[in-house]
Structure 1
Amino acid sequence: MTVRARARITAAPGGRLPVLSGEGPLAVRRTRPRERAGGTWAQVTTVGGMSGPLGGDRLRMSVTVEPGAALRVTSAASMVALPGPGRDGAEASYDTELTVGESGVLHWWPEPLICAADSVLRMTTRVALAPGARLWLREQQILGRAGEPAGRLSTRLIVRGGGRPLLDQELSFGPGVPGWRSGAVLGSHRAVGQLLVIDPDFGKRPVEPELLGPTAVLTPLAGPGALITALAPDGLALSRLLARGEDLITAGLRSG
């Protein structure tokens, strides 16, 4: 049976959540945020009421951060894309829309996505940032569980700031994708991820390009912002690379 599920989150100033609803794999709960500078934050955790997405499922997440509000969204566990019951190669979709108002802050911090063998998933994330908005967005994708082949994954990330395009990238991996195992794409690596940071303070002191290792790089973006892109043999190594980049970006913003 195909599942259609949607989650909606709206964060208002003062840590309020006037809208918080979710279902199925996108069940959401308010959780206690860590202490953070800049006022009262709200924190929401997706807990996943069932396995998925499975082949043919349609999932949609909509998040709105009102002007001056701050929100951190996490997940309780990794999301695992699985084949449908008949293993007929049906594609699942997961669409995310993130909107951040003027001077709002959003930390989008889910656990890794794992694409199990025979799964087919298309992910699209659209971000709209008002002037002065801040965004920390982390994505981690792992192709196949331990000891199994990869599923097929297509992702697209579209970010606009103040009505202008900041980033638009599309990636595809897995069986049926030409050259995805070549040295120009993933090679022998099974994990890929990125950390995108958009912050007006980069306009005062842009980030400097830096290699974080043989398969990870920190690059400046217009916006102003910074992007870390990393490949790794597994999820743990990927997490460590992104954490190192996060520390560098945080230190740079503080020093500025």
Structure 2
Amino acid sequence: MHTELCIDASRDRSPRITSVGGLAGRQTGPDTVHLIGTAATPLGGDTIVVRISVAAGARLEVRSVAASLAMPGALNRHSSAQWYFEVGEGASLVFDPEPMVVVSDASHSVVNTVVVHEDSALWLRERTQIGRFEEASGSWSSSMRCDVGGSPLLRHRVELGEGSVAHDMLSAPLSMSSTLQYPDSRPSEVDLSDGSMRLALAGGGSLSTSVGRRLVPAGSGG
């Protein structure tokens, strides 16, 4: 299955939502859209393309009603998603969906492309768990490319699960939470007690990550 979803937010109207395939959006507030699954996706072989655009001066929050499950297909175990985010001049975007759970024997990859204006605001969180209860054989990768005002802010890639560089059956992390925030002037910080860190970016934002065996409940952003 191929899924495409577009969400366009403007200051002078409600968000415009168009979709085809297994993912849709529903407006749940003046500036809020929740992602809703309309079919079992992603299955192995599925592709997903999502474009989220926030025009100058507009505000948008994108969340989801439930976690997503990446599952193997009958002939293919790998699925993929491409997410495109564009935040215009003086605009604000909060993107905070429920986690992606990659079930046993499934493989899922994500490519995030983000374009932000110098005076816009972004809070973008990605959370992933390898396996349901007592499962550990899935694999996941994600890359992030973010530019601010035409200049590079972040180039980042991470892998989890079977086949990744850091994977082993005894102690490798199986979950990750990552938040890209712009602007953010706080210094870098590392917390060895829970494996979390915040990296200050040269362009004025930050990337916060934490890894572990299982995801822990997280507060909402804004």
Scaled by the length of structure 2, what TM-score is found? Answer: 0.92
Letter in 1 for 2:19: G
The answer to whether residue 197 in structure 2 is matched with residue 225 in structure 1 is: no
The answer to whether residue 34 in structure 2 is matched with residue 7 in structure 1 is: no
Letter in 2 for 1:64: S
More helix by share: 1
For 1:164, the equivalent position in structure 2 comes to 151
Cα deviations by residue, 1:189-219 (Å, 9 ceiling, x for unpaired): 32111111102xx4xxx20222343300122
Q: Of the two, which has the highest radius of gyration?
A: 1
Equivalent residue in structure 2 for 1:210, among 183, 189, 206: 189
Mapped to 1, the partners of 2:162 and 2:212 lie a distance apart of: 19
The answer to whether residue 32 in structure 2 is matched with residue 48 in structure 1 is: no
More strand by share: 2
Map 1:31-42 → 2, pairs under 5 A:
31-32=28-29, 42=31
Question: 1:15 Cα deviation (Å)?
Answer: 5.5
For 1:196, the equivalent position in structure 2 comes to 180
Local SS of the residue matching 1:27: strand
Contact 1:221/1:227 (8 A) holds in 2: yes
| Closer, same or farther: CA 210–219 of 1 in aligned 2, 3 Å | same
Moved more, 172-181 or 72-81: 172-181
Question: 1:160 Cα deviation (Å)?
Answer: 0.5
Cα deviations by residue, 1:40-83 (Å, 9 ceiling, x for unpaired): x5111011001120111011000110000000000010111000
Contact 2:130/2:174 (8 A) holds in 1: yes
- Percent identity of equivalent pairs: 27
- RMSD of Structure 2 on Structure 1 (CA): 2.0
Mapped to 2, the partners of 1:175 and 1:211 lie a distance apart of: 26
Letter in 2 for 1:216: S
For 2:49, the equivalent position in structure 1 comes to 60
Letter in 1 for 2:199: T
The answer to whether residue 129 in structure 2 is matched with residue 142 in structure 1 is: yes
Displacement over 4 Å in runs of 4+: none
Mapped to 1, the partners of 2:169 and 2:106 lie a distance apart of: 21
For 1:16, the equivalent position in structure 2 comes to 14
Question: 1:225 Cα deviation (Å)?
Answer: 1.0
The answer to whether residue 62 in structure 2 is matched with residue 30 in structure 1 is: no
Contact 1:117/1:145 (8 A) holds in 2: yes
Mapped to 2, the partners of 1:218 and 1:149 lie a distance apart of: 27
Contact 1:121/1:152 (8 A) holds in 2: yes
Map 1:238-249 → 2, pairs under 5 A:
239-240=217-218, 243=219
Cα deviations by residue, 1:219-242 (Å, 9 ceiling, x for unpaired): 21122112211012312x2x34xx
Equivalent residue in structure 2 for 1:132, among 107, 115, 119: 119
For 1:82, the equivalent position in structure 2 comes to 71
